[in-house]
Chain A
């Protein structure tokens, strides 16, 4: 029921015309990592996109560059290698994806898993809780029992807690540098006065 989030794991049956004429260039092919940000302390991590990187430290750094510019101020960032994220099917209509799962939670507490829910279509996945379970499928069943769901869940991502690479709390000051860069914001560019003065002068 759960599949890998990584499109490279199965190339999704692409038409031949997308095959590269150069063969696979293994040297250039970095792994992809999914980046998640926390907008305010206490808020859940939410997905922002992917980065390509050779390892998780670099993935974290690239994500910081890529996703925390331009007044998008966050307080924490974490990355997970795409192939380590398992994804459920997306449901149709108002169907909750948890209603489609089969089997019972094993009760085993072998590994810790983080669960991300999609509760608004077209929006990003948000962290909604952690569970203990035997494997990914089992984690889904465990989440079904223990994670509260005030809203319909259309899709679920699950990753092992140990596969998450996160910023240290003591490094919180890395988020402080953006405030003085007003020139990067639309608000710093006022035009109305100058246009008005120009029009008056012309009249």
Chain B
């Protein structure tokens, strides 16, 4: 998981006036030729800023995304599922490490990124502000939220910033396990007993709206991102990613006898595009701005982990220090 529906900073028309026009032209020519930009290369401030923002959001989404699934490790049905889910959650946290590393090459320290997550300044994928009530919710996340993330990540891995692309290549290799594992879990429930099927269907019903939100606001209303596309920061529009996801996964959901809670959902064979009820973007904005069912809990868990880990970091920095019993 889980780079989805990034929010980019609104851009001012003057964002590029301070840049050296010759260097800017060279930079754009390199990207045009398909060359990758490396950390020590010249780059416009706006490019640096938007990339930090995007990679950082992606990293946060990986660790926050591990929370709803992480709580299911001990309750996963059977030893095999526990092992597999533990491996997946471990991967997600590892992805965060890879991504923080890539973002750091742009100059923002990991400590600052983690602080900005905890104090709410940075965002993460909105979908993790919803709770995983049942085991079937956890299965939905493993299969379909990861599937959505893969759509985004595969697109981004062809972007222009070298360290991000390299991190994504490794991440995508691991994601294929998550996807197969998740699919396996969903098939098991969807082809199981009546009760299992109902549980799976209820999870699909709960998660469909957040899943549609996952790719971010419709292109019609989202910020103008032409320059980010030109610089290969953003590789596909939100709607393109959503269409690709629907195209790949709706048939796979339907073939399991599951239904999707949107009567308008269908593929228009004439245009090749999926049609659907427009997601509730006000709800999306409300949740991303802090008012979702789990926002506070997610950040509280992160904050606590940060506090609890402090002594470990301090101890690691002073390996020779000895504990001395105070005299009084």
Alpha-carbon gap, A7 to B97, bound state (A) = 17
Alpha-carbon gap, A75 to B124, bound state (A) = 36
B317 touches A90 (CB 8 A): no
B interface SS class: helix
Residue on A with the closest CB to B34? Answer: A121
Q: Which of A71-114 contact B (CB under 8 A)?
A: 72, 87, 89-90, 92-93
The reply to whether the CB of B191 lies closer than 8 angstroms to some CB of chain A is yes
Alpha-carbon gap, A195 to B97, bound state (A) = 36
The reply to whether the CB of A146 lies closer than 8 angstroms to some CB of chain B is no
The reply to whether the CB of B259 lies closer than 8 angstroms to some CB of chain A is no
Question: Given the complex, which residues of A lie within 8 Å of B104, measured CB to CB?
Answer: 7, 32, 50
The reply to whether the CB of B267 lies closer than 8 angstroms to some CB of chain A is no
Residue in B83, B94, B115, B173 whose beta carbon sits within 8 Å of that of A183 in the complex? B83
The reply to whether the CB of A179 lies closer than 8 angstroms to some CB of chain B is no
The reply to whether the CB of B75 lies closer than 8 angstroms to some CB of chain A is no
Residue in A11, A21, A123, A186 whose beta carbon sits within 8 Å of that of B166 in the complex? A123
Most interface-central of B38, B184, B314 (chain A CB within 10 A): B38
Alpha-carbon gap, A181 to B86, bound state (A) = 12
Question: Given the complex, which residues of A lie within 8 Å of B174, measured CB to CB?
Answer: 69-70
Q: Which of B79-115 contact A (CB under 8 A)?
A: 80, 83-84, 87, 90-91, 94, 97-98, 101-102, 104-112, 115
Question: Given the complex, which residues of A lie within 8 Å of B314, measured CB to CB?
Answer: 27
Residue total for A at the interface (Cβ-Cβ under 8 A): 61
Residue on A with the closest CB to B186? Answer: A191
Q: Give a binary string over A161-203; 1 marks a CB under 8 Å from any B CB, 0 the rest.
A: 0000000000000000000010111111111001101110010
The reply to whether the CB of B77 lies closer than 8 angstroms to some CB of chain A is no
5 A-B residue pairs with CB within 8 Å: A7-B106, A20-B109, A121-B35, A121-B162, A202-B257
**Those 9 A-B pairs whose CB atoms lie nearest each other, nearest first:** A122-B36, A189-B180, A54-B316, A198-B191, A189-B184, A186-B180, A12-B107, A50-B101, A186-B176
